[in-house]
Each structure stands twice: as structure tokens, then as C-alpha cells.
């Protein structure tokens, strides 16, 4: 393989494809980037068996061919080479790739190309197309509610979002048991029915990679154990998460059980909860208490070791007065996901012991297709 291409093209591709490199590879080859040059294009691949990338960039191909080069060093070289063009020659010196740019010359030892698990693009009927901004909204308003990746040993299925496609409706649902976020969007064409649990980490990487200033169509395809996303020269693939996602619709409170409805400024609420959490975050449960009455919301927190905090903000309270406690982080995460200036909290009534322990919902008037459900914390 012998090629010449623009430094900016190569560097932008490497910055994306290097995200698929394994930091602690199962085998050394997974630290490499696969390069294949032909027909005026250079294709780059990386994979860690969980996530994979394929990117193509234009290149002047003197000699077609394939090779695998150490991803870390290739990316660092490309970033610091002095000229606008870069040449990669894997033909002239046995076992080495010669990289030149201007008056700079580096050599990298090639890795065994036959050891690389070359990615093949998926082909199947379970596919749909979605705008990049639509996908970004779906991910922004759901993925944050998943179980964190470092906790995946507990319940792997909760580290992913349930993807549901029904006709022209796409829904993402995410939960860590204590909270649930559900977001739906419409797409232009009927895509049939799809059910899959997609790693949240992959979805967040997709939106960072393919969402740009110019609106872009993204094609999503699913098989029984894989998902792929492709858009404008970028192809990403990931394993799906095995296991059954719970029937989340059962935990969404029905409208006829709502006893208290509270409408308020999302920014004021988030700021007050954030200040109260300065005290509560010293406790592992990060508890803040909310009290609704007489068109006011009182937010308070208490720590025997640190002190106490209390703040009152205006709120439109409809229905019964209520007092309820939550993990402050769960409330703040919900506020970050909103696009509206106001938010609406809906509470069910207390139990026989006078405690509010039923899940509440948080919505916004500007987006009727979004709902966040969070479970209260028992305080005594």
C-alpha cells in the first residue's frame, strides 16, 4: 500500500476511529488500526469487539493494499506532522510503514494484517432512517437514566436503552430501577417493528460523532445481536445487550391517580436543588426534601455532620399539599434533559402511613412525547 492524502482528512478520521481502540486489548492486534486503500479511497477500521468503526476518506492511491498500524502512534504522528499532505508507504521497506510529511519522516512497524478482525457492513431488513438531530434528542432525553457502565455487572440490561420502533414512531427508554426516562419521536417512513437493547455508551458516542452543523440522515440497522449506524462516510457498529428489558410502562403513574400537580421554572428549581445538595451530597443517598403548599415549593436538606439548607421558590400548586424526598442527582439530571423553561411535577397521594413513596413524573409542556419517572426516598 502506498498512498498520499490530506493531513486534515487523515487526522479527522483517526480522531474518530481511535475511539474504537482497546485501552487494555485482549490481543495486541486490537490496538491497531486497519487501513485499506483502493479506488481513490482509504478505509480505516478499529474495534474492541464491543464497538467498531469504519471510516472512508479520499486518497491518492499509488499502490492499493491493506495494512495494520499501531493506532496510538499513528494518531500522534498525524497530529504533529508539519505539512498539509501525508504519504504512507508500506511497500518500500519490509515490515515497516514509512510516513512522510514535508521534511519529516517516521517509520512504524506493521502489525499482522491477517490477525485483524475485519468488520463487515451489516445487511438486513430491520432498518430505519432518522435525522441526526432527532437521534440526538432521543439519546439526550433517555441515556442519562441508564445504570452506569462501571455497574454493568449488577444488571447489564440496564446499561442500555430499549429501542422500540413501531411504524413511524421511535422510542428510547432507559432505567436504573430507581428512575425511568422515555422519549419518542416520529420518523418519515414506516419502519415496521424493532425491539433491541442498545448500549447507552454506544448511543452517546454516535451522537458525538455524527451530529454536525448540517442536518444529516442516519441509517440504523439491527440484527439479532448487533446494531449499526452509518452517515456520510462514518459507519459504527456495536453488540446489542442480551436480556429482557422490563415492561417500563407499568411504572408510569396513570393520570387518574395524580393528586398534586406542580408547575414551576425549571431553572429556578434546578438551581435551588443544586444549592441544597451542597449539604446533602455528603450523604450517600444525597437526599433533598420537597414540600408543596400555597403556591410555594420549599427545598431543604440536612446533614448532622455539615449543617442544613432551606430555600423557597414560587410554584403553581394544584391539588393537595405534599411533602416528598428524592436523590438530588436524579432531579438535577432530569432538569438538564429539558428543553423548556418550565417543568411539571405530578405526584400521587400518600400511603396509609402518610408517606409519599409512589413514583412521580416530570414533564415539560413543550414536549408531550417525553416523560421522566423517579422513585422517592424513604426518610424515616
pLDDT tens profile 96-109: 999 999 999 999 99
pLDDT at 38 over 60: yes
Tell me how far apart the alpha carbons of residues 155 and 151 are, in angstroms, rounded to a whole number: 8
Tell me how far apart the alpha carbons of residues 234 and 241 are, in angstroms, rounded to a whole number: 22
Per CATH, domain 252-374 is 3.10.150.10: yes
* Assigned architecture for domain 2-115: Roll (3.10)
Tell me how far apart the alpha carbons of residues 183 and 136 are, in angstroms, rounded to a whole number: 11
Tell me if 28 sits within 8 A of 43, measured CB to CB.
Answer: no
What is the arrangement of strands in the sheet containing 322-327, beginning at the earlier edge strand? 307-314, 296-303, 287-293, 322-327
pLDDT at 355 over 70: no
The CATH superfamily holding the domain 127-248 is DNA Polymerase III, subunit A, domain 2 (3.10.150.10)
Give per-residue pLDDT as tens, 53-88.
999 999 999 999 999 999 999 999 999 999 999 999
For residue 191, which of 123, 121, 130, 122 has the smallest C-alpha distance? 130
Range(s) for CATH 3.10.150.10 in the chain? 2-115, 127-248, 252-374
Q: What is the pLDDT of residue 352?
A: 52
Q: What is the pLDDT of residue 125?
A: 74
User: Average per-residue pLDDT in the chain?
Assistant: 91
State the residue for C-alpha cell 492499493: 64
What's the half-sphere exposure (Cβ side, CA atoms, 13 Å) at 120? 3
Tell me if 19 sits within 8 A of 205, measured CB to CB.
Answer: yes
pTM of this prediction exceeds 0.85 = yes
The pLDDT-based confidence of 129 (bands split at 50, 70, 90) is very high
Amino acid at each position: 500500500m502506498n498512498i498520499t492524502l490530506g493531513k486534515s482528512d487523515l487526522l479527522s478520521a483517526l480522531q474518530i476511529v481511535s475511539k474504537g481502540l482497546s485501552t487494555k486489548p485482549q490481543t495486541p492486534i486490537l490496538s491497531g488500526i486497519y487501513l485499506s486503500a483502493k479506488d481513490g479511497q482509504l478505509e480505516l477500521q478499529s474495534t474492541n469487539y464491543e464497538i467498531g468503526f469504519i471510516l472512508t476518506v479520499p486518497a491518492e492511491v499509488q499502490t492499493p493494499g491493506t495494512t495494520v498500524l499501531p493506532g496510538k502512534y499513528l494518531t500522534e504522528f498525524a497530529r504533529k506532522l508539519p505539512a498539509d499532505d501525508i504519504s504512507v508507504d508500506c511497500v518500500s521497506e519490509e515490515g515497516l510503514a514509512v510516513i512522510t510529511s514535508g521534511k519529516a519522516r517516521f517509520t512504524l512497524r506493521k502489525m499482522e494484517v491477517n490477525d485483524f478482525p475485519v468488520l463487515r457492513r451489516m445487511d438486513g431488513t430491520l432498518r430505519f432512517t432518522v435525522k441526526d438531530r432527532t437521534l440526538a434528542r432521543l439519546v439526550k432525553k433517555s441515556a442519562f437514566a441508564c445504570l452506569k457502565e462501571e455497574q454493568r455487572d449488577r444488571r447489564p440490561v440496564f446499561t442500555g436503552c430499549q429501542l422500540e420502533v413501531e411504524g413511524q414512531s421511535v422510542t428510547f427508554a432507559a432505567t436504573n430501577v430507581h428512575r425511568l426516562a422515555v422519549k419518542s419521536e416520529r420518523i418519515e417512513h414506516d419502519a415496521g417493528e424493532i425491539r433491541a437493547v442498545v448500549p447507552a455508551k454506544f448511543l452517546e458516542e454516535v451522537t458525538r460523532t455524527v451530529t454536525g452543523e448540517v442536518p444529516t440522515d442516519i441509517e440504523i440497522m439491527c440484527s439479532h445481536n448487533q446494531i449499526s449506524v452509518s452517515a456520510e462516510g462514518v459507519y459504527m457498529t456495536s453488540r446489542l445487550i442480551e436480556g429482557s428489558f422490563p415492561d417500563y410502562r407499568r411504572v408510569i403513574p396513570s393520570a387518574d391517580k395524580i393528586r398534586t400537580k406542580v408547575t414551576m421554572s425549571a431553572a429556578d428549581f434546578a438551581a435551588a436543588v443544586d444549592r441544597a445538595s451542597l449539604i446533602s451530597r455528603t450523604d450517600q443517598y444525597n437526599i433533598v426534601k420537597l414540600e408543596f403548599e400555597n403556591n410555594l415549593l420549599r427545598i431543604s436538606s440536612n446533614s448532622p455532620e455539615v449543617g442544613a439548607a432551606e430555600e423557597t421558590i414560587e410554584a403553581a400548586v394544584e391539588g393537595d399539599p405534599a411533602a416528598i424526598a428524592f436523590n438530588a442527582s436524579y432531579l438535577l439530571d432530569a432538569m438538564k434533559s429539558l428543553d423548556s423553561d418550565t417543568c411539571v411535577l405530578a405526584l400521587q397521594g400518600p400511603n396509609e402511613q402518610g408517606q409519599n413513596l409512589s413514583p412521580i413524573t416530570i414533564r415539560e409542556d413543550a414536549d408531550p412525547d417525553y416523560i421522566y419517572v423517579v422513585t422517592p426516598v424513604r426518610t424515616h
